[in-house]
Amino acid sequence: MPDIPAGGHFAHYASEAHAIYLGKNRRLADPVFFPAPGPFEQTLGMAQRMVAREVDEHPDGGLQYIQELAWIWGIGRHSRLPPGGPAPSLNDYEKAMKAMSTEVYQTWKRIQTLVRNHEDEIQTWVVGAYPRSGTDRAKNPLVNLLKASWLPTVQEFNNCHPDIRKFMENRNVESDFQVDAPDGRLPPKFPFSYINLFFKKSGEADSQMQIPTREHYAAVYRLPFNFFDHRASKDWPHPTEHQMFIKNGDMYNHPDSRAWFRRFRLSFLVPNLTLSELENPIRLLSFIHARGRQHPSVFAKADNDMTYIGRRTSFLTGPFIGNRMVSFEHSGSDSSGDFQPRLWRGWGGKSDRGCDRAVAEEYADLWHRGQLFGTAEAWVMLQGQRATYLYLWNLLTAIAATELKLNPRTSLTPRPPQEQQQVFTAARELVASQQSRYLNRWMDYTRQQLYISPPTAIDHRFLSELQNKVEIAETHLQDLFSDPGYFFDRIHELWDHHWGHIGMKNDATNPDESDEKASYLEQYADEKTRHVLYFDLIRGVVRRSIFEFYMWHSIHSRLLEFDNAMKDEFEDYGKGDDSDSDGTNLLQQPPVFLSPQKQLQHGSISDKYLALIVMVRYHAVFFVNEFRKKGIHAGSPHMRDFVYSIGQAQKPTPDRICNIVKEHYGAPDLKHRSKLRELWRDLSKVGGNSMRGTMFAAIDNFIVNALDGTNTGIKDAAALLQEVSQIQNEDLKDIFTELLDDTIDGLDLLSTLADHLEYLWPAMDVVGGADATEADRRKWFDAGSKGVSINFLNFDAFDFDGKVPMKRLKRLFLFFDELQGFKQESVSVGHAKGDLRRFGASLLRKLIYPVNEAAKDNKANQEAIARLERAMNVTGDEYIYHDREKPFNLDEEEAGSGVTVPLVDQPKSYRNIAARERQLAKERRAKKDAFIEQLIEPSKEEAAKAKKREKKKARRKDKARRRKLASGDPVSEDEEGDEDEEMTGEQQQPPSTAAPNDPRWEESLHAMLHQFQLPSLPETRILSLSGAQPAPTPSSSTSSSKPLPKAPDGRPKRVMKKREWATMEAIYGIHGSANAAVSYAQLRAMMSALGYEEVGRGGSHMSYSRVDVRWPHSALPKGETIQLARTHGKDRAVAAKGKSRDWGRRLCERGLTFEFVKQWFVKG
């Protein structure tokens, strides 16, 4: 895979924005790591040595060299100076750090005492008080306490120890770190949703720097609170703020910017402490249980990670101390020790060259555990812990004083140790039962991670999610090569998302003028042009299907293999702590194997891990490239009107068969631009639906753009998109198509897994873009793919064009043409199946086998190839091509000789496409003719002739339309008229009337955010305190005196309500019920009646897991989990007949037939 260029003026950031990071690069969020040095790289080593010597010689301040270096680095120019100024003293920094850690520890000790003695009572009250649906939240006692606890927290946070306050209050132009109470109405997924809403563009390179240096990247927002100081360095740092100014339409240095940052600083510092999350008792109780009992050092790594967006975007800045890194020490056991920072000499992962061997090894061990932080990272992390524990203390004391009649601030009588153990056991059981029962949905699981103890081993939830993906990919590939209608559905789906839909312009003068599409779509009615596009569409569909078939299986296999190897290598790996301890023993978990010393002992484990993470990340990049290089969002039907390109979005290749770029990983990025420069002014462009624009921005800014994506990380973008796509809302149903859903779903899972692994064993400083060569990463990727999968990078072009016989391809093209109405119907479904089977055989024989063999030692083994053959239901040795071969009917062949198979008509779904495309071509031609006529005004005689011709043409069109209506043939929308008029009405919406000087900057952020507020996300269902299931309400049939019939186990059958029974009859096609309207919501209710719970993660398929079925496991061993495709859009929308019958077929494949159900259930 080639390096991903950062683009624009920021070429030196190419390695830092490499795709392997998936947007989240720690080096870009703390100046101590000195990222992207560019021409300054040669002098970097010397600069580090000079800074180190100056810090050692002047610990009380007076640093000059580091101050000059800070100016060169853009600190104080592109972002406000950090707390403490450009060169704070080492001694002042140490004092502040010690004061903060002492405060955190003392606050936590008070919390721990309260929790150990009264957690059971706190839990009882919280479960009873949380806001139920339909109740008035404004009067809810839990909600009121959650809000009220912020006021004392903010007061205590700001009125802190003098050593801390020295860095909290600005003396001149440096940043302060004061906070205001966060607003309870902030949208979900803050701070990503904030950055997504207000991000505008990448800042410009600083052209005024006179000496070789790196380029300075800074995000520019749609707010007047950007910062830039372009004054000369003579008097720097300047004693006063730079005045407000406007540059290129962007406002900088607004007088109220400090107040603005104070208002939202806490939301970036502790994004988990949001009202919408904490009012959910599962999250709140888990948070109290984990934070109240375990030592603050246990959460240091997680709390630092939580502030990444704030640090990367300069919302959170900390003091910059050169040649120092920070860890946090604890001594003793069971919380008897303290919590203090320890400073180390070094830069990032490299200890100071003057350190002795033992210190260097300890330094490396901490670094590879993720427990060594940059000075700014550590300072910000401790501020976050101050806010966290102060808030938790104020909340718990309010609950204790108001509801439990206790006063923990003055005195608290501890319970005897035996009772404390009983409190712990009961509390742990309640939290565990709620988490196991109500975190089945992927969204609930991921949102819960911020409120529980950090992981110390691979979470097996990922294995189950990956296994579900394996089953979905296998089913998809089977259907793709067995069902011609399904095959074309996928072809047309990709056609509907093709980047060729992006409108082209000659310049950016008027982005909103009418666009011309790429020739493949502009001239789609032309057979030759259309067939060129077919090559690209087939390549995209088949490559993705085969890649996903191998992708999910290989990741699942390698992850399980690595997890088992860890258990064999390290005896204590994966073992938790079930005792009521402070958790500090878990700081040595998971075992480290990447430090230089440990690699000598555990080289095999190290190699397996590096191969695993590179494979996971490169597979995630496959989905990134669906947006970045294939533009499926920009070409999608609901987003294509937001974008345009200057000239072609992607240049053609000289290939004579298909001149569209073939590669996926190696393709150039699409060159397109957004029309939504000011979203709040451009609501007319999104049809008044702001969510279309915000979701497009999340993809286009933070997934597509490699450098801008480093502001947030791709995982946060994918997580928001994944959650919003699952919301049943009218404004959202037309945003996410199934293809977008599935792509976001895959990216969300893999980016979350990559982040999970990086948390456990940090390795991006080993495999990252700036730390390893592409040859190194290719070596690890090959090692991960070897045996279990074909090598995606070898198959990147998926160049079947000149390999699969053209005669066979043209048979598929003919079928596609007929389905769309370009040709008269001649290919039956049985013949299309035969064509598809032959295509699969040629694909294996001519492409898969030879390219795989060429990989030699890194090829897929025979078992992996056999898996593919079974899924495609063909081998390369079958259906050998002959020049004179004739079409054959696969249905007749499989039925056997002498058996007559009735001709199956083709699907009719797409029959009007040809008529529509021809009409569009006419309209485009008419527009061009009209434009020419405007330039060359015709004579009166010519005008009269043209008018006469138009009348004759109208009469002919009217006659043709009547003939088609009489014969039942397809009629174009233009002939019918209605749909075109409707579309015209949509396109002629009035333009935005917002004036350029609209005073929106004077509004509060809350009012602006409210305009773009996300709909409520699905909430976790809550268990009662006892965890008992409510008894089912007996139906009328069960209350009758007639005894129920017996099931095979001798016990009475279970009663199923008539509504769910009717749904079951419909999907099984019982006595005509197949024509009944069935929605996905009805299917879910039926599955619930059978005893299954929906536990899927999103995308086009959902997983159902057995929780309370009537039959024993032995009666249906294949029925533990079942994958079912969901309908796109609203759950209550009626499913197509084919999809509802497919549900029944999938259940039958698992043994869950209608006859089987009747053995255990009776209709109510």
Is the per-residue pLDDT at 844 higher than 90? yes
Note the pTM of the prediction, 2 decimals.
0.86
Q: What amino acid occupies position 636?
A: S
Is the per-residue pLDDT at 999 higher than 50? no
Q: Which one has a higher pLDDT value, 94 or 185? A: 94
Lowest model confidence (mean pLDDT) among 338-347, 875-884, 1021-1030: 1021-1030
Q: How confident is the model at residue 835 (pLDDT cuts 50, 70, 90)?
A: very high
Average pLDDT over residues 581-589: 85
Res 509: pLDDT: 75
Res 975: pLDDT: 44
Query: Which are the contacts of 1027, defined by CB distance < 8 A and separation ≥ 6?
Result: 430, 433, 434, 437
Lowest model confidence (mean pLDDT) among 412-426, 775-789, 966-980, 1041-1055: 966-980
Res 464: pLDDT: 92
Whole-number average pLDDT of the chain: 84
| Closest-CA residue to 230 (of 218, 239, 219, 242) | 242
Please give the helix or strand (H or E) that residue 374 lies within, else none. strand 373-374
Res 978: pLDDT: 43
Q: Which one has a higher pLDDT value, 1039 or 634? A: 634
- CB-count burial class (<10 Å; 0-12, 13-18, 19+) for 788: buried
Please give the helix or strand (H or E) that residue 365 lies within, else none. helix 357-369
Measured in degrees and rounded to the nearest 5, phi and psi for residue 356 equal -75, 170
Q: Specify whether the backbone of 1099 is left (phi greater than 0), alpha (psi in -120 to 50) or beta.
A: left
Query: Which are the contacts of 274, defined by CB distance < 8 A and separation ≥ 6?
Result: 182, 186, 188, 190, 267
Res 991: pLDDT: 37
Res 292: pLDDT: 95
Q: pLDDT tens, 878-920?
A: 999 999 999 998 988 888 766 666 667 787 778 788 887 788 7
Q: pLDDT tens, 278-319?
A: 998 999 999 999 999 999 999 999 999 999 999 999 899 999
| Closest-CA residue to 328 (of 344, 307, 351) | 344
Domain ranges of the chain: 37-437, 926-987, 1036-1163
Whole-angstrom distance, CA of residue 156 vs CA of residue 149: 11
Is the per-residue pLDDT at 982 higher than 50? no
Is the per-residue pLDDT at 580 higher than 90? no
Cα torsion through 769, 774, 775, 781, rounded to 10: 80
Average pLDDT over residues 854-873: 95
Please give the helix or strand (H or E) that residue 673 lies within, else none. strand 673-674
Pairing outcome for strands 245-247 and 1121-1125: unpaired
Q: How confident is the model at residue 734 (pLDDT cuts 50, 70, 90)?
A: confident
Is the per-residue pLDDT at 1038 higher than 50? no
Lowest model confidence (mean pLDDT) among 349-353, 919-923, 1023-1027: 1023-1027
Res 165: pLDDT: 94
Owner of token pair 């086998």: 849
Measured in degrees and rounded to the nearest 5, phi and psi for residue 674 equal -95, 140
Whole-angstrom distance, CA of residue 240 vs CA of residue 221: 23
Is the per-residue pLDDT at 965 higher than 60? no
Q: How confident is the model at residue 681 (pLDDT cuts 50, 70, 90)?
A: low
Measured in degrees and rounded to the nearest 5, phi and psi for residue 326 equal -130, 135
- CA distances (Å), 681 to each of 94, 201, 644, 940, in order? 48, 16, 18, 46
Average pLDDT over residues 31-40: 64
Full DSSP string of 555-596:
HHHHHHHHHHHHHHH-TTTT----SSS-SGGGGG-SPP--SH
Res 204: pLDDT: 62
In this prediction, what percent of the chain has a pLDDT beyond 90? 47
Residues facing 1092 on adjacent strands: 1106
Task: Give the tokens for residue 905.
Answer: 């008509």
Average pLDDT over residues 1101-1111: 82
Res 247: pLDDT: 86
Whole-angstrom distance, CA of residue 649 vs CA of residue 662: 15
Q: How confident is the model at residue 1031 (pLDDT cuts 50, 70, 90)?
A: very low
Is the per-residue pLDDT at 42 higher than 70? no
Q: Which one has a higher pLDDT value, 1105 or 718? A: 718
Res 951: pLDDT: 75
Is the per-residue pLDDT at 206 higher than 80? no
In this prediction, what percent of the chain has a pLDDT beyond 70? 84
Q: How confident is the model at residue 1041 (pLDDT cuts 50, 70, 90)?
A: low
Residue pair 801/538 in contact (Cβ under 8 Å)? The answer is no
Q: How confident is the model at residue 996 (pLDDT cuts 50, 70, 90)?
A: very low
Whole-angstrom distance, CA of residue 114 vs CA of residue 134: 33
Q: pLDDT tens, 685-713?
A: 555 567 888 899 999 999 999 999 999 99
Query: Which are the contacts of 814, defined by CB distance < 8 A and separation ≥ 6?
Result: 823, 826, 827
Q: pLDDT tens, 378-403?
A: 999 999 999 999 999 999 999 998 88
Average pLDDT over residues 591-606: 89
Whole-angstrom distance, CA of residue 497 vs CA of residue 500: 8
Task: Give the tokens for residue 583.
Answer: 């958790």
Res 1133: pLDDT: 67
Res 961: pLDDT: 66
Work out the end-to-end distance of the chain between its first and last CA atoms, rounded to an integer number of angstroms: 60
Strand, coil or helix: 1122 = strand
Q: pLDDT tens, 528-565?
A: 999 999 999 999 999 999 999 999 999 999 999 999 99
Other CB atoms within 10 A of residue 527 CB: 13
Res 583: pLDDT: 84
